[in-house]
Structure 1
Amino acid sequence: MLTFEEKELIIQEFSELVRKEVSMKRVNYHYEKSLYEKTTVVYHLHPNGNGFVYVGDLPQYEEADDKGLLNIREASADELRAIIKDSIAYLSTEEEELQDEEIEEVWKNKEDSTLTLLQEDTLWNIYHGYNLEESFGSYSEAKTYLLAEGFRLDSKR
């Protein structure tokens, strides 16, 4: 695990981030050129090494909480750099550009039934044929539902 000081050195490699002290010796780092109201990239970095990076609803960060925060306590130096880079890109990309890359996945269960997970606007919709089965606010929620229902991503597509 990286120390607080090591994490700060990595974060400071991103000159576009501004350090702001908060309570209990924690610090936040803000991306003030964010296209959105949200500017915090690194949230509550604590001297014990714990902290979070805002990743929104980027699908590659399924471990993020409901607020889009990913815990970086155990992140390696390379992982931390990549997460921060993704966060800055997320905050500096127009919403329409993010939505242009719709994601469509086919999921199957043991009975060979299929469901389609489709990102539409800001929702993650699950279809059985043309019928909407469920709708979720994040990829992570939709994936959790599919796994709980016994479906697995169809790797043949």
Structure 2
Amino acid sequence: MLTFEQKQQIIETFPELKKKSISLKRLNYHFEDSQYDKTIVVQQLHPNGNGYVFVGDGGPYEADERGLANIREVTEDELREMINYSIALLSTKEATDDEEAADQVWTSKTGGELKLVQEDDLWNIYHGLNLEDSFESQEAAILYLKEEGFKRN
């Protein structure tokens, strides 16, 4: 298990996060460029090593009803991945109903194109007519596209 100090060092490698002290020597880390009212990425980091990262719902992490995943037992890589996921989630404003209904075309720097389409309860990514991947939420699909180097047209 990573110590409080180790977790703090890892979190502070993200320049977009701002540290704020709260009660009982705990720390919150805010992403002030959030597209939502929600700005806290790391919540209640405690000197005993416990704390939470906001990961929303419907994504790859087990979260409580508030969208928080416990980080007590995470590795350095897991913590970094969760924080990256959270920042990407808070950076992407949900589309309006009209935008969601339309297919979204995403392009890579090399000119590759993928299409993001909502079908039933899934968000599917297509390369031409071939299904590339499926996600339970638009946020998770967009995070995947961004991690793969694609940008929305």
Could you state the TM-score of these two structures normalised by the residue count of structure 1?
0.63
Q: Does 1:118 align with 2:121?
A: yes
Sort the Cα spacing of 1:57 and 1:102 in 2 relative to 1 into closer, same or farther, 3 A.
Answer: farther
Distance 1:49 1:43 in 2: 12
CA RMSD of aligned residues (A): 2.3
Is this contact kept in 2: 1:102–1:118, CA < 8 A? Answer: no
1:3-48 CA-partner distances (Å, limit 9, x unpaired): 0000000000000000000011100000000000000000000000
Structure 1 position 102, deviation (Å): 5.7
- TM-score norm. by structure 2 comes to 0.64
Gaps of 5+ in 1: 105-116, 121-138, 140-157
Which letter does structure 2 place at the counterpart of 1:65?
D
Equivalent runs, 1:134-153 vs 2, <5 Å: none
**Distance in 1, Cα, partners of 2:60 & 2:71:** 15
Distance 1:53 1:103 in 2: 27
Residue 31 (structure 2) pairs with residue 28 (structure 1):
no
Aligned residues: 108
Q: Cα gap change, 1:47/1:92 in structure 2, threshold over 3 Å: closer, same or farther?
A: same
2:38 match: 38
2:85 alignment counterpart: 86
1:76-124 per-position Cα deviation (integer Å, ceiling 9, x unaligned):
0000000000000000012129x565676xxxxxxxxxxxx7148xxxx
Regions of 4+ moved over 6 Å: none
In the aligned structure 1, how far is the partner of 2:58 from the partner of 2:118?
12
> Residue type matched to 1:64 in 2?
A
Change (3 A) 1:5 1:65: same
Deviations 1:50-83 (A, max 9, x none): 000001124211x100000000000100000000
User: What secondary structure is seen at the aligned counterpart in 2 of 1:19?
Assistant: strand
**What is the percentage of aligned positions where both structures have the same residue?**
55
Contact 1:53 1:72 in 2 (8 A): yes
In structure 2, give the amino acid aligned to 1:82. E
